Amino acid sequence: MNGVEIALAGYLAFGQLIPQGQQEIVKHAGLQVLHADGAVTLRLKEAGREKRAEGGAEVTTIRLVDELYPFEVTRYVKSWDDCDAVETWVEIRHSEGGPVRLIRADSFASAIGVSAKEVGVLGLTGKWAQEANVSESKVANGQIVELASKAGTRDAWESNAGMMVSFGQSDEESGNVLGVALEWTGTTSRRIRRGWDGKTTEVFAGVDMTSGPYTLDPGKVFRTPKAVLVWSERGRGEVSRQFHRWARNHLMPHGRDLHPVLLNSWEGSYFSFTEKTLTDMMDGVKEMGGEMFVLDDGWFGRGKYARDDKNKDKVGLGDWYVNEEKLPRGLGYLADEAAKRGLKFGLWVEPEMVNTRSWLAEEHPDWLLQEKGRPLALGRGGTQVVLDYANPAVRERIFSDLDKVYASVPSLAYIKWDSNQNIVNPGSTFLPSDRQPNLWYDYTIGLYDLLAKFQAKRPHIMVQACASGGGHMDFGFLRYADEFWASDDTDPFMRVFIQWGASQFYPACAMACHVTASPNHQTKRETPLKYRFDVAMCGRLGFELHPKDLTPEEVAFAKKAVADYKRIRPVVQQGDLYRLASPYENPYSALMYTNGDRSHAIVFVLGLKENGEKPVSLDLTGLAKGAKYDIAEINCTVPHDAKLAGRRLGLALHGPYDSAVFEISQGD
Ligand code: DGJ
C-alpha cells in the first residue's frame, strides 16, 4: 500500500483500492450528466471489479452502472511497484436513445481523508517569457479554489496542469502534501473545496468544460485524461521527486536515457541562414563537445510562401516542404554534415498550425479553426491560426507531409514540436453544429492521435514539446516527448525562477535549458558566461547562439563546462532533486541532485541580482547523515571559499549574477 492510497481514504479504501462510496465521483460532483431524455440524475452502483498485472504495475478496474439509465462508468486505478504514484482515470459510455451531454467529467474527484487546520494549494502560472511562476493560496472554510486554463493549446502558461495541496503547514522537507497532475495538453480545471467547518477537503481534477457540455453518442466512449497522484508526508520536495521518478520510469518515451547536449539554431540565426551558417554552427558545437545540432524555424515553404528572412513568421506554416532556395541540397545534406562532425541532427516543426498565407490554407480554408460568421482572429505574424485537429483528414495530411520530410532524413534523431497560438477561433467545420463544444476535448485527442502515429513509426526519435516555450509543459505531452522547452526567456536570472517552478512537477532531464548570448535577446540583461552555464546545467544543457560570436577564452570555458556536464549528467538528469533555497525567499537559489545511493551529489548555488554577497548556508538534506563527503568546485572562474561541515555547506557569493557549482562525493 502506498502513500497515495492511505491519503485518499475516501477514494481508495485501505489496501484494496475500493471506493468507499460507490458513487464517489458523483457524490463529489466530479461527474454531471444531462441524459438523452433531459434528466440530470445519476445513481451509480458497482457492477464488478477486477485487478490485473501490467508489467510492473497493477491496474484495478471498477465498473459502475446507473440503476435507471443504460449509462456506465469505468474507473481505473494504476499503481507501480517501483514508485509511490497512482494514475487514475474514468471511461464513460451509454446506450441511451440519443446523445448524452457531459456537463462535468473529472478524472478524479474525492474527499481526502486527512484532517488539517489549514489547507493550501500551490500551482504554476504565467505567460510568454514569464512561465511557471509559483503561486500559492490558502483555501478558507466554505470556499472553492479553482486553478483553470482555458487556452486549448499552450495551457501550461495560464495554469499548469499540476498542483500541490497541502494539509497543515508544509515546506520543502515537511508536511502532508498531495500532488495532482493531469496528463493533458488542453484546458483543465482543478478545484479544492473545504467544508464550512474545515473538516472536509475535496479535490477535483479534470478537463475544463465551461465552454459547453461534451456530447457523447450512444456506443462511444469518453475517456478522461489520466490524473497522476502522489502523496508525501515529507513535504513538497518528496512530491516532486516522486513525480520525477514516475515520469522518467513510466511516462516519457526515453526517460531513462541520458539526453544530449545540443545546439538549437534559433537565437543564433533566427530566419536568416544559409547552408554555410548552419555548418559553421555545427563546427562550433562540435568544438565545444556538443552531441546534436537542431535546425529551428525557417527551413520550409515555397514560392511566395517561403519562410525566408523577408517573410519570417508571416507565411508558410502548413507547407512542409524544404525551402530549396535557402537549402538547395536539402535536409539530408545537413544531416550528413552533422554526422561528419559526429553530431546527431534534429528539426523544428509546428504541425498544429497554419498561416492564412500558405498553400495549405489556400487549398483547404475549411481546415482552419473558425467561428461561423465571424472574421478570423489572427495570431503570430498577423496570419497564424490553429488547424482543426478534430478532423482526421487534417491530421492525415499533416502526417503524410511530415512523414515525407522525415523519410528524407533517415538519420533524423530529434523533433522540436512547436505551437505558437491558442485556440482563439473555437469553431470546427468538421464537427456538427450541435457539437461545437466537443472541439476543446477532441482537439487534444486528435493531437495525441497524431503524436502517437509519429511515435509508432519512428520510436527512436526524441521529441521536444515547445509551444512558444513552456506552453506544453505537461505530463500529457510528455508521454510522447522527452523534454519541453521551458521558456523563450533564456535570461539566466529569469530562468532561475522558471526552472524552480517547472521542477515542482517535471524532471530535470525533461527541462531544456540553453546557454545564449549576452546581452540576452529577450531582456537585454548582461550576465557572465559562467552564470549562464551554471543555470543551464540544472537541466538538459544546450546552446542557442552562434558559436562564432564566442571569444577563444569563452570557447575554452564552454568546452570544459560541457565535459563536466557530461560527467555529472547522470546525477542531474536521473537523480533526486532537493530544492535547498528558494529564489522567492532568498537572494539566491540552491538546488542539489543526488544519485540513488547518495554517494554523489551536485549542488548549484545561483545568485540573483541584489544582495548576491549575502553568506549562503545550506543544509544538504539529500546527503546521507553521518557519511563523510569530499567537495570540489567545478565550472570555476573565481573560486568560492566553501566549507562543508557534516551536511552544512557555507560559502559567500561574489556579487550579483555570481554562482557556484560543487561536486560532492562520498569519501572512504
Ligand atoms: C517559438 C519557440 O519557443 C522558439 O524557440 C522558436 O522555435 C520559435 N518559436 C520559432 O518560430
pLDDT band at 23 (very low <50, low <70, confident <90, very high): low
pLDDT, mean of residues 444-473 = 98
- How do residues 553-562 score in pLDDT, each as one tens digit? 999 999 999 9
* Range picked from 20-34, 104-118, 362-376 for highest mean pLDDT: 362-376
Residue 200, pLDDT score: 87
Residue 55, pLDDT score: 87
Q: How far is the CA of 469 from the centre of ligand 1 (A)?
A: 7
pLDDT at 29 over 50: yes
Residue 21, pLDDT score: 45
Residue 17, pLDDT score: 37
pLDDT at 128 over 50: yes
Alpha-carbon gap, residue 4 to 497, rounded angstroms: 29
Residue 24, pLDDT score: 58
Question: Which stretch of 241-245, 506-510, 543-547, 612-616 has the lowest confidence by average pLDDT?
Answer: 612-616
Q: Which of 348, 355, 415, 522 to mutate to test the pocket of ligand 1 (most atoms within 8 A of CB)?
A: 348
Residue 450, pLDDT score: 98
pLDDT, mean of residues 583-591 = 96
pLDDT, mean of residues 363-378 = 98
Question: Phi and psi dihedrals of 55, rounded to 5?
Answer: 60, -130
Residue 579, pLDDT score: 98
pLDDT at 15 over 60: no
- How do residues 261-319 score in pLDDT, each as one tens digit? 999 999 999 999 999 999 999 999 999 999 999 999 999 999 999 999 999 999 999 99
Counting residues of the chain whose pLDDT is more than 70, the rounded percentage is 95
Q: How far is the CA of 88 from the centre of ligand 1 (A)?
A: 34
Residue 111, pLDDT score: 83
3-state secondary structure of 441: helix
**Pocket of ligand 1 contains residue 367 by CB under 6 Å:** no
Helix-, strand-, coil-residue percentages of the chain, each rounded to 5: 25, 30, 45
Residue 46, pLDDT score: 86
Angle between helices 275-288 and 330-340 (to 10 degrees): 20
Element (H, E) at 403: helix 392-407
Reply yes or no: is the peptide bond before residue 519 cis, omega within 30 of 0. Answer: yes
pLDDT band at 7 (very low <50, low <70, confident <90, very high): low
Alpha-carbon gap, residue 354 to 368, rounded angstroms: 8
Average pLDDT, the chain: 94
**Pocket of ligand 1 contains residue 485 by CB under 6 Å:** yes
- How do residues 184-229 score in pLDDT, each as one tens digit? 999 999 999 999 999 889 899 999 999 999 999 999 999 999 999 9
pLDDT band at 28 (very low <50, low <70, confident <90, very high): low
Question: Phi and psi dihedrals of 165, rounded to 5?
Answer: -115, 120
pLDDT at 447 over 90: yes
pLDDT, mean of residues 150-156 = 96
pLDDT band at 667 (very low <50, low <70, confident <90, very high): confident
- Edge-to-edge, what's the strand order for the sheet holding 648-652? 615-619, 648-652, 643-645
Question: DSSP assignment of 153-194, as one string?
Answer: SSHHHHS-SEEEEEESS--SSSBEEEEEEE--SS-EEEEEEE
Residue 112, pLDDT score: 84
DSSP 457: H
Q: Which residue has the higher pLDDT, 91 or 112?
A: 91
pLDDT, mean of residues 65-70 = 94
pLDDT band at 467 (very low <50, low <70, confident <90, very high): very high
Kindly report the protein residue whose alpha carbon is nearest to atom 10 of ligand 1: 297
Alpha-carbon gap, residue 339 to 346, rounded angstroms: 11
pLDDT, mean of residues 598-615 = 88
Element (H, E) at 93: strand 85-94
What does each C-alpha distance from 230 to 74, 178, 241 come to in angstroms? 22, 6, 10
| Residue owning grid cell 544538504 | 620
**Pocket of ligand 1 contains residue 420 by CB under 6 Å:** yes
Residue 244, pLDDT score: 98
pLDDT, mean of residues 621-634 = 96
**Nearest Cα to Cα of residue 465 among 122, 147, 155:** 155
Q: How far is the CA of 266 from the centre of ligand 1 (A)?
A: 7
Residue 16, pLDDT score: 36
Q: How far is the CA of 18 from the centre of ligand 1 (A)?
A: 46
Torsion of CA 8, 5, 228, 91, to 10 degrees: -80
Residue 19, pLDDT score: 46
**Nearest Cα to Cα of residue 109 among 47, 189, 219:** 189
pLDDT at 523 over 60: yes
Counting residues of the chain whose pLDDT is more than 90, the rounded percentage is 88
**Pocket of ligand 1 contains residue 264 by CB under 6 Å:** no
- Are the CB atoms for 19 and 73 separated by under 8 Å? no
Residue 243, pLDDT score: 98
pTM of the model: 0.96
pLDDT band at 1 (very low <50, low <70, confident <90, very high): very low
Which residues are known to be catalytic? 418, 488
Question: Which stretch of 82-86, 341-345, 566-570 has the lowest confidence by average pLDDT?
Answer: 82-86
**Pocket of ligand 1 contains residue 131 by CB under 6 Å:** no
**Pocket of ligand 1 contains residue 415 by CB under 6 Å:** no
